[in-house]
Chains A and B, each alone.
Chain A
Amino acid sequence: MNKTMEKIRKNLKSSQATIPLVAILIALFIGAIVMLIGGYNPIVAYESLVLKIFGSVYDMGETVRAIIPLILSGFAVAVASKAGIFNIGVDGQIIMGAVSSLLVGTLIDLPPIIHGIVAIVVGIIAGGLWGVLIASLKTKFGINEVISSIMLNYIALYLSHMLIKSFAAQEGTARSSLIKESASIGFPSLNTLFGGARIHWGFIILPFIVFAFYYFFEKTRWGYETKTVGLNPDAANYSGMKVNGILIRTMFISGALGGLIGALDTLGVYGYVAIVSSTSGIGFDGIAIALLGGNSTLGTTLSGILIGALDYGSQGMQFGAGVPSEIIGIVISLIIFFVAAPGIVKALLPKKKAPKKEVE
């Protein structure tokens, strides 16, 4: 018997998978009721949602494109959660990654591919450092990471506006100038194959990140350290671990994932950064994804796919059924709510008899 077997056995025995699944169903159901009350037809709405996701080669490509940042965001939140930090600042880290890679993509001349790599790396580092800021404020001054994250999200937003206006302005528009061709990380030939869907390096990078997350936490001593700090910082401290250092390292990784999201979207999807008045909200979706997936590799990936697809498909609802896309936002919030308070789901489920000791 090994550990993995043991874990699987335990998971099956517990309600670990049931709660999220039921939560999703209840949330979708409530969403339907809300639509009914609002005078919309939920069946048409959900139908157009699904159609938007799978409707065409283009949509399928774009769905995956939209899912990538969400899975990454889920992992960014999950990494921090493992160390006991609630990183609600992924949005800010995304912005820092986006604007840094934008600047590398617009200001510097490098050969193709190398330019893309450099821009991504710079974006990753920028996001990572923005994450480190949160960790340092926590370890040095005892500032709650939730408050500092939100403040840093806004600061990052306005900082990005400033940087874009100063270094990559595109007169007369609410966005930056375009990155140089050499910095693009798209696959032009695949784009045409998928009807113009924006396929980019991220499609290849993602599986590596998923595997790295798994390997880091399940196999390495650094993962062991990180989890120990998250589960019992006092015991970690007593055992001789440098808790603050581990927190800072973890937040670098978490922020770096945010930075990667920003870099991929800037270099592979849009080619520019928009000057908008609020953050993207991908970071908040990441919270939902990590929570729904129980911070596990498989769970986070699956819930990232689900929430990403819902997010992307919600545009279809707007067009196809005239339902405001916020309904999906409501559904996603409800999913987190139910997962965070599993008692509610259990109360809604039919009562089971007390489980027998072991069914072998």
Chain B
Amino acid sequence: MEQKRVEKVLELKHITKKFGNFVANDDVSLTVRRGEIHALLGENGAGKSTLMNVVFGMYQPEEGSISVYENETKIENPNHAIHLGIGMVHQHFKLIENFTVTENIIIGMEPKDGIRLNMKAAVKEVQNISEKYGLKVDPNSKIEDLPVGMQQKVEILKCLYRGANLLIFDEPTAVLTPDEIGELLQVMQKLVAEGKSIILITHKLNEIMKVADKCTIIRKGKYIATVDIKDSNKEELAEMMIGKNISREIDKEAYNPKQNVLEIKNLTMLSSSKKKVLNNINLTVAAGEIVGIAGVDGNGQMELAEAIIKMRDFEEGDILINGVSQKDKSTREIYESGVSYVPADRHKHGLVLENDIAENLILIEYYKEKYNQGIKLNKALMYEEARAAMKNYDVRAENEYTIVRGMSGGNQQKVILSREISRDPELLIIVQPTRGLDIGAIDFIHRQVVRLRDKGVAVLLISFELEEILTLSDRIDIIFDGQIVGQTKPTETNDRELGLMMAGKGSGDE
């Protein structure tokens, strides 16, 4: 094909994309050549996804031009993008869970035999492609039975089946174990060796250093630079990504744990299909310490957190708070015994989005005498407290009547945090506290957590971000496949070692 002689697979020139007054991409340029892995580096909210949505035809830019194979093109919609040979491996997979691998791959371009679907031909074609690029999957398994890493391979196969020459990977390693990450990076190298090109969207420097040829950095929507990886290093990239070299260190008082507040003894929980989602967990958190639970998403962390607050029942073992068994207590009684909980999913569990700030602040304690005068809620107090909370926790909104749905993620999280901290907990369980937030909000939240620990609160931190675990924790427990597989301290370990343990020391499936 003629296309093969062309060097520049994709060229973005001076792209500007605005949403109202907000400039998501400001004069960004990018060129991807054949056989190249081009990393797109930037913090959360820097505008990486917007830029790629422009490439994939989901948004139309206000200014600038896009050339595919050196032909200037207006990419109308995702279909058009697919037609041009652009494929996107989405961060949240676009797969149909109760369909087979093959069905997912062929849908939209099904091989036919008269009016019937030709499944045999489809399976064969899928096998061919998967062999060619070293993407081993069973074409007949259902997606819901496959581990995340496998599902991602199906996403890649879907693009290849559709003839993609340029693959965009959107934060592909966020959900993978270190083993799976290694495998994915190999697949990417194989793909470019076969003449494909790749855009890798990420904020992980290690991966870029490992596989990328070039790296374009954007910050707050603005184009910063494009560098050759072989002439660069991690420190330089990090500085360009963040801007100033801000210290992520947080001052902590000396580690001085007191009595155990939370004790989990031989905790075992079964899933509805009788699989052990938690397997004989033993864990303590003492007053004045932060215990981090490190692990890849889906290894039992949510179940552990929800067992402590009795959102889920468990089969064996016991959970003690200040030495008292919580077995027969309700969620509300557990909160009353001094437990605060910041859930992972702000929108689903943490907030009632249609309610205002004050109403969200009383979500847990609305029934208490303090907030009630007879059968009436004490609204004057509610709104007064809300005003104070907004000031203390730097919640930025018009006023305390503001409906939380319209607020930024950082401000929403501050509402939750202020509610949970103001309840004066002895134990704070905090899950994925900074997911999707900007640096300012992350820093604020980290400081609040440390402040509590210094005050003598026991903190159980569950996070999938190694950096967060290493920054905040006094002790670290590593969870894998529902078991605690290791214990360490931030001072005695590094992210590589932790990563290995999070993958079950390499003894996992694969």
Asked if chains A and B are in direct contact (CB within 8 A), the reply is yes
What residues make up the interface of A, taking CB atoms closer than 8 Å to B?
Answer: 1-3, 6, 219-222, 224-225, 227-228, 231-232, 234-242
Which one of B89-97, B199-207, B252-260, B347-355 is at the interface?
B347-355
A240, B332: Cβ atoms under 8 Å? yes
20 new A-B contacts at CB < 8 Å, known A6-B401, A232-B352, A237-B311: A1-B399, A3-B383, A219-B375, A219-B379, A220-B377, A221-B367, A222-B375, A224-B377, A232-B353, A232-B354, A234-B348, A235-B351, A235-B363, A238-B311, A238-B331, A238-B341, A238-B349, A240-B330, A240-B364, A241-B332
B interface residues with partner A (beta carbon < 8 Å): 309, 311, 330-332, 335, 341, 343, 348-355, 359, 362-364, 366-367, 371-372, 375-377, 379, 383, 399, 401
Q: Are B377 and A221 in contact (CB under 8 A)?
A: yes
Query: What residues on A are CB-neighbors of B383 within 8 Å?
Result: 3
B375 touches A228 (CB 8 A): no
B350, A235: Cβ atoms closer than 8 Å: yes
Chain B residues whose C-beta falls within 8 Å of the C-beta of A2 in the assembled complex: 379
Determine the distance from Cα of A75 to Cα of B401 in the docked complex, in whole angstroms: 26
**What are the residues of chain A within 8 A of B335 when measuring CB–CB?**
240
Chain A residue nearest in CB terms to B333:
A240
Min CB distance B144 to A, Å, is: 20
- In whole Å, how far is A102's beta carbon from the nearest beta carbon of chain B? 34
Cβ contact within 8 Å between B343 and A238: yes
CB A98 to nearest CB in B, in angstroms, measures 31
Nearest chain B CB to A13 CB, angstrom units = 13
Is A221 a contact of B349 with CB atoms below 8 Å?
no
Q: What would 26 A/B residue contacts be, using CB atoms closer than 8 Å? A: A1-B399, A219-B375, A219-B377, A220-B375, A220-B377, A221-B366, A224-B359, A224-B377, A225-B367, A227-B355, A231-B352, A231-B353, A232-B348, A232-B352, A234-B348, A234-B349, A235-B350, A236-B352, A237-B311, A238-B309, A238-B341, A238-B350, A239-B331, A239-B363, A240-B331, A241-B332
Counting chain B CB atoms within 10 Å of each CB, which of A220, A221, A222, A240 scores highest?
A240
CB distance from B19 to the nearest CB of A (A): 15
With A219-B376, A240-B335: A3-B401 Cβ-Cβ less than 8 Å = yes
Q: Assess the B371–A221 pair: CB atoms within 8 A.
A: yes
Given A6-B401, A228-B352, A232-B353, A239:B364 Cβ within 8 A: yes
Count the A-B residue pairs with Cβ separation under 8 angstroms: how many?
68
A328 → chain B closest CB, angstroms: 34
CB of A220 within 8 A of CB of B376, answer yes
Return the chain B residue nearest A241 by Cβ.
B332
> In the complex, A238→B305 CA distance in Å?
12
Residues of B within 8 A of A240 (CB): 330-332, 335, 364
Give every chain B residue within 8 A of A232 (Cβ-Cβ).
348, 351-354
The chain A residue with its CB closest to the CB of B375 is A220
Asked whether, in the complex, the Cβ of A221 is within 8 Å of the Cβ of B372, the reply is yes
Across-interface contacts of B330 in A (CB, < 8 A):
240, 242
8 A-B pairs closest in CB distance: A240-B332, A240-B331, A238-B349, A232-B352, A239-B363, A6-B401, A231-B352, A219-B376
Please indicate the chain B residues that have their CB under 8 angstroms from the CB of A225 in the complex: 366-367
Nearest chain B residue, comparing its CB with the CB of A229? B352
B348–A224 contact, CB under 8 A?
no
Per the bound structure, the CA–CA distance linking A241 and B350 in Å amounts to 13
Q: Min CB distance, A152 to chain B, in Å?
A: 29
In the bound complex, do residue B363 and residue A228 qualify as a contact, i.e. CB atoms below 8 Å apart?
A: yes
B366 touches A224 (CB 8 A): yes
C-alpha spacing A231/B351, complex, angstroms: 10
Q: Which residues of B contact A227 (CB under 8 A)?
A: 355
* CB of A348 to closest CB in B, whole Å: 27
B121 to chain A, nearest CB (A): 41
Which residue from chain A places its CB closest to the CB of B367 in the assembled complex?
A221
Taken together as a complex, chains A and B put the C-alpha atoms of A231 and B348 apart, in Å, by 11
Q: Please indicate the chain A residues that have their CB under 8 angstroms from the CB of B399 in the complex.
A: 1
Q: Which residue of chain A has its CB nearest to the CB of B374?
A: A220
Q: Which of A1, A231, A232, A239 has the most CB of B within 10 A?
A: A239
CA distance in complex: A1, B384 (Å) = 12
Residues from chain A with a CB closer than 8 A to the CB of B363 are 228, 235, 239
Which chain B residues lie closer than 8 Å to A224 at the CB level?
A: 359, 362, 366, 377
| Complex interface: chain B residues within 8 A of A238 (CB) | 309, 311, 331, 341, 343, 349-350
Chain A contacts of B367 at CB under 8 A? 221, 225
Residue of B309, B341, B352, B379 with most partner-chain A CB within 10 A: B352
Note all chain A residues with C-beta closer than 8 A to B401: 1, 3, 6
